[in-house]
Structure 1
């Protein structure tokens, strides 16, 4: 099979590179999945490696499933394409009798139950939010190869904010690990740890694995954690038959231990590695690509390996839209109305997405879409394969596949006939729960159609095997409806039309990132990821108030500076008496540094801070943090207090003009802060 004619020159160079270390720096929309799968097919077809000796790993079940489907189309059916955790689980189950013995330990679907028991023993609050935060800390520590005794020092080095004092979190971590051993249970992080240990500590196990797998491909390499890199090293041994693909501009999981340094330092580890850059964007229109380049081009301290400037390859499309609204309700209603317009012009409903920074923003859009009669689905909601109708359908399909004779007819027709037994009709119901059930069953039929088109032998038995594999990996088929998702959950996906909503200071960038330049840059990369999800239609919006009739005190995200066209109505100065670009109040220079924006002046300009007022504000903040049982920075950061002590605001409008103080902070703390300033002024 001649694959080269379907590729551009850079893709072709990556596909045809000889075996050995290859690093592909692939910008968003540049065809990295095609490049990966074509490279595997090229290596197999040219006799460099057998398909069964290839292990390709990525970070999501959906990406692994798409890779398997594309390899199947290329006639490569024996290669393994899995997530890190799925690959480790298979290997650990296989080697368990040899390295541990006895029955395999139970795999925990969720660690929250044991985290709760550990927290209770240590005397830490066990409310749901605290348990989620503690679980996140344990996951970060294990992904970073940090044991309980090392956790406090590691937190200090990283400057990481913790839900409890580091020593207390370390004790929860210690007790959690003890409880797991007592219950003979493993969490998902243990899959990687135990598999790594099995390979590192057992020569015969390592030799058997390395004899089986000889060629490795890693997708989204910018997101590997130290633990995943260590497992990859154990897989490789002293070999270098490794292809990695990634984009440092899409590093958005640092909070979980991910780091682009392995991608950016690849040539230091493998000096003879080939490096290929993919910059031709086939996903988005030139208008979307131009905006994406502006977003990431404003990033500071970008390492050389991340300086990819995308070049749009599609025909022209509409310019991105920007809109400012009075409140969140108005913003959601306008988005729903625009979605209705797009659907009426022919954009499929499942090719539209609404993306936001935090999941709590979803509610307003669920309500607005419901009122407009537009179907939607929330990524991260109920798992597809856990739905009642899907479980029933799977049972019927399994039974039929287990029969001695294959049912007559094409695979899609066979599946349709079988699913009629669990309620699939030829025409969809009008709406409601019955329509959602019908959509789920039709998704299985459509998956059968895809499988029949791609597989060499599309039998029912093989189709059910594909479903079982998808169910184990939670790789759900597409269900019709507007997608509502967080920006993190949208990574790796794309739509014809994308709405980026709620782009306000305090939300994007998120409030707790404000005092950390590295965290701010990750928030900028999150916006970049959101922009690059859109193929043609892109809308960016924000609202000035949370509720109808509320104070219009919010400011749009700093990342929108320079993006909103100068002649756009939203580019006009809002009712806060401030220009579009923040300026130093001493020398009037435009401010770009996060810390300078926060205090409202250049770091080199003299401060007029009142030390007594600053001390009084810090004392008030400590009291408030103790009262609310939260870290002090959650109330106000040091930089925000410094800005308050310098500016000494006298009313709400002056207070919200300070970076870091939005509507929520004003509502919670505004009266206290203004009272403290007035008292100090009177005393002085």
Structure 2
């Protein structure tokens, strides 16, 4: 076994100078300003391991706080690889809830309040009791606003004055929000329930007001590490202060340029003021970017170099450490439908050329943009993973797979080598390695189960029983394995993740920055959000926007944060048409599609695909449409895929209206690409020419 000195040397042997300084800093306050891709998690875990190996403390004495269960799970995994166990690596909410459940019974005179299952439901009840007229969208907004207020340590009695002094846009009249907020607090107390903000508040209150509890917790946890410190809320800082007491053994890690959660109450103030609070604190800057190519790093620096406001004072200048790669490219499409279709085509090409789908991401500003990309990816047979669309371990096929694995523990399968045991157990669910469906929902289910198999491939210790225990641990912590599908995610959901290839889409003013970003501070947060998106890419980055919004008629302009970025495919500068020479984007007109009946311009995707507006009569061959519909249904049944992944309803209508006579004419129908032509052109043209459904479904395709 290696000596302690040998272990310490090994911990820092492969670190750069700045990382080594952060890892080996003496106990006490340490602030690590870590830019994107600079090895933040590596540095933090090695610092914890350094302190434990050196003998300062045991793993059980460390609390490492992250902001997602995935990040906490990754931290625990890395610490285990370094030989350190027992570290309390959790989210703020998870750590607080654990302490509240252990110590809180006395505080509440019995059982602690239950966690409510729906904040919106209680807000709805509170609004009714307060006499405030709402609907579901308003209740959602009210729930978010109440969460912001609670996280900002603003109670119902202070709400009106607080939002007025801050100039904050309230979802309703401030006095009405305050009434609902007060009624919401009363409703929770009557029902003996709590929300996530209460978990933190109750735990902080318990430590602040019960000396015995404070002594127990502070005696157990002596060294604190806080990740993503730029996104801490005042409520979370209150809990952190309660944990610390009068001590100062704390390491914080953050990047002010990635402050993007102010709408939840998060603030970079605590990171920016860290050395003022602790003048003796060690401040270390990590600026060597090991993630992205110099081309991507260069764009990221350009985007953030124009930042203003308090966060700009702590801006980091990233220095790319990788070899040069492809240039960052951009494109302006005619409308959002064309943008989604072209991005999906490029993803399909990358997958055909060997890029794993899991190494590709399409990132957008709002979740509402997801649906169009989901549909286009399905049209090209590309599996997708939508971040924020549901938890991995809650998927029906994953629940079924875990039941099958547990059931196999009582059979001879359990005695087989782990990977063989896992694959054989999963065959009970109908899954077979290599039997890959061609796309759609079945492909997504296959890839989800395949993620468990890949996890088994990486799991070097133990047998099937141990592996099942590992899955149970991951399920309880929501530490999901990587699913091999193209990731579709909002920029907020993408934070902390990275991919080889990233498509940043919808980069038009009005979408990014959103029209709701009215103040200078809000616009600067939108800039930081773009910066987060750019820095998610390792090798390839493609930017795009649509000149027309879906169903819109007014031409849009490129995102203001990119106008001077000199991205290939975008203009060097974008000037409004009445302010000088016409720009490249202005010259690239939307493809004009006019109605075949009234000749009015068509803007809606449905109308453009059909070639006429809703007011003009259809020329559809009803009998052909019926045969196409029956063929699609039978083809979907045989392939085990949803019918819309064969052709959408609108596409079937367009085919029945135009009766294409060749592959070329079929390809002119909006949204039908090479993938669809290769697979279904023969059958479709056979039906157009009067062929029967029974014969059409027997025709071969390339699936």
Under TM normalisation by the shorter chain, which class is it? 0.7 to 0.9
Point out where structure 2 has 5 or more consecutive residues left out of the alignment: 1-6, 584-703
* Contact 1:571–1:580 (CA under 8 A) maintained in structure 2: no
Change (3 A) 1:419 1:77: farther
* Contact 2:33–2:255 (CA under 8 A) maintained in structure 1: yes
Q: Deviations over 1:141-196 (max 9, x none)?
A: 11011111011111112111111111110111111111111111111111101111
Task: Give the C-alpha shift of residue 232 in structure 1.
Answer: 0.5
Partner in structure 1 of residue 415 of structure 2:
408
* Contact 2:414–2:465 (CA under 8 A) maintained in structure 1: no
Task: Give the C-alpha shift of residue 568 in structure 1.
Answer: 4.6
Partner in structure 2 of residue 679 of structure 1:
none
Residue aligned with 1:449, SS: helix
Partner in structure 2 of residue 559 of structure 1:
561
Residue aligned with 2:578, SS: coil
Change (3 A) 1:569 1:437: closer
The yes-or-no answer on 1:547 pairing with 2:550 is yes
Question: Which residue of the other structure, out of 479, 486, 510, is the alignment partner of 1:475?
Answer: 479
Residue correspondences, number: 574
Question: Which residue of the other structure, out of 418, 434, 444, is the alignment partner of 1:436?
Answer: 444
Task: Give the C-alpha shift of residue 98 in structure 1.
Answer: 3.1
Q: Deviations over 1:322-349 (max 9, x none)?
A: 1111110111111112212222332211
Distance 1:518 1:579 in 2: 30
Answer with 411-420 or 495-504: which moved more.
411-420
Partner in structure 2 of residue 82 of structure 1:
90
Q: Deviations over 1:103-122 (max 9, x none)?
A: 33221233011111111222
Distance 2:115 2:175 in 1: 28
Residue aligned with 1:164, SS: coil
Partner in structure 1 of residue 33 of structure 2:
25
Q: Deviations over 1:406-434 (max 9, x none)?
A: 93244333332332333332323424443
Q: Deviations over 1:493-546 (max 9, x none)?
A: 0000111111111111110113x1111100000000000000011011111112
The yes-or-no answer on 1:418 pairing with 2:425 is yes
Q: After the TM superposition, which residues 192-271 of structure 1 pair with which residues of structure 2 at under 5 Å, given as runs? A: 192-271=200-279
Distance 2:206 2:530 in 1: 40
Distance 1:353 1:366 in 2: 12
Change (3 A) 1:84 1:464: farther
The yes-or-no answer on 1:379 pairing with 2:387 is yes
Q: After the TM superposition, which residues 75-154 of structure 1 pair with which residues of structure 2 at under 5 Å, given as runs? A: 75-154=83-162
Q: Deviations over 1:381-415 (max 9, x none)?
A: 122111122222333444566x7999324433333
Task: Give the C-alpha shift of residue 62 in structure 1.
Answer: 1.1
Q: Deviations over 1:574-617 (max 9, x none)?
A: 773345999xxxxxxxxxxxxxxxxxxxxxxxxxxxxxxxxxxx
* Contact 1:323–1:570 (CA under 8 A) maintained in structure 2: no
* Contact 2:365–2:491 (CA under 8 A) maintained in structure 1: yes
Point out where structure 1 has 5 or more consecutive residues left out of the alignment: 583-684
Q: After the TM superposition, which residues 579-658 of structure 1 pair with which residues of structure 2 at under 5 Å, given as runs? A: none
Residue aligned with 2:548, SS: coil
Distance 1:519 1:508 in 2: 11
Q: After the TM superposition, which residues 208-607 of structure 1 pair with which residues of structure 2 at under 5 Å, given as runs? A: 208-303=216-311, 306-398=314-406, 407-430=414-437, 431-450=439-458, 452-453=459-460, 457-514=461-518, 516-547=519-550, 550-565=552-567, 568=569, 570-571=571-572, 576-578=577-579
Change (3 A) 1:42 1:211: same
Q: Deviations over 1:235-276 (max 9, x none)?
A: 111111111000000000011110111011111111111111
Distance 2:114 2:407 in 1: 28
Residue aligned with 2:493, SS: coil
* Contact 2:329–2:569 (CA under 8 A) maintained in structure 1: no
Partner in structure 2 of residue 654 of structure 1:
none
Residue aligned with 1:505, SS: coil
Residue aligned with 2:224, SS: strand
Distance 2:112 2:310 in 1: 45
Q: Deviations over 1:122-147 (max 9, x none)?
A: 23343221111001101101101111
Residue aligned with 2:86, SS: coil
Q: After the TM superposition, which residues 649-668 of structure 1 pair with which residues of structure 2 at under 5 Å, given as runs? A: none
Task: Give the C-alpha shift of residue 460 in structure 1.
Answer: 4.1
Task: Give the C-alpha shift of residue 74 in structure 1.
Answer: 0.9
Answer with 215-224 or 382-391: which moved more.
382-391
* Contact 1:61–1:473 (CA under 8 A) maintained in structure 2: yes
Residue aligned with 1:271, SS: coil
| TM-score (structure 2 length as normaliser) | 0.78
Distance 1:202 1:361 in 2: 49
